Structure 1
């Protein structure tokens, strides 16, 4: 989960993995492994990444979400912070809309990232030869 967040914020800032590596002082291969979820950064590495992205390190910390009630609590908090709008589609799906251009841009990029991330990870993990898989990572 942390790796997905690193990549999402990196892409939101418009940085390549190489640029993030240079700004954080962390090897680009290590950044790549974090983003793919193969390795988890130690706290001091996470602080370097957060600083390079201009973020507070707490943005990468996971919430203890175990129930629907936990999710609802977060949604209420988000609504208080960024004016969340809800609407229903014709097929009775609910749409969350943020009246905030920065949030809209972030979620658009997050959606694009998520699609690419899942595809790339599946392709790399499907490589049977361990040496080739490690090389790709």
Structure 2
């Protein structure tokens, strides 16, 4: 049975992004200065990845650390708690009908969030029009600089 703990999700993220960049475990290990066995243990969730090491692992295939982190979202309740945390600094608010989110421009980080969401909308539209394929879209998601406070 698969673990739902943080180690596993972070490991899955490392594996997915490593493969998307066309790297073997050995190539990633060389780039980061680790053994292939260590990479295998991180990807399988046997060992937890320390935050400073996660940064090194992310740099090798040019992935944002945010793409590798596990935000612990397993249920809609978890997601709701995360969204509520984003309200204050980023101005993320719900529409009255509950079907969409909006950005309150008065929040401190709202302009950066709005610009990032606009880029996402443009990339999704390219995917839906067939201008980029799923692999290119996944690559874009892995490379985007995730919002940090």
| 1:10 matched to 2:18 | yes
Aligned to 2:56: 48
Displacement of 1:82 after TM fit? 2.5
| 1:82 matched to 2:132 | no
Q: Can you list the C-alpha shifts for 1:13-39, whole angstroms capped at 9, x where unaligned?
A: 100000000011011101001111111
5+ long unaligned stretches in structure 1:
86-95, 110-137
Answer yes or no: is the 8 Å Cα contact 2:21–2:61 preserved in 1. yes
The alignment's C-alpha RMSD in Å is 3.4
> Which is helix-richer, 1 or 2?
1
Displacement of 1:53 after TM fit? 1.0
Q: 1:19 aligns with which of 5, 27, 33?
A: 27
CA distance in 1, matches of 2:135, 2:55: 25
Aligned to 1:34: 42
Answer yes or no: is the 8 Å Cα contact 1:26–1:45 preserved in 2. no
Answer yes or no: is the 8 Å Cα contact 1:34–1:40 preserved in 2. yes
User: How many equivalent pairs are there?
Assistant: 95
Alpha-carbon distance change, 97 to 5 in structure 1, aligned in 2, over 3 angstroms:
farther
5+ long unaligned stretches in structure 2:
1-8, 84-99, 102-113, 140-149
Answer yes or no: is the 8 Å Cα contact 2:13–2:69 preserved in 1. no
SS state at 2:60 partner: helix
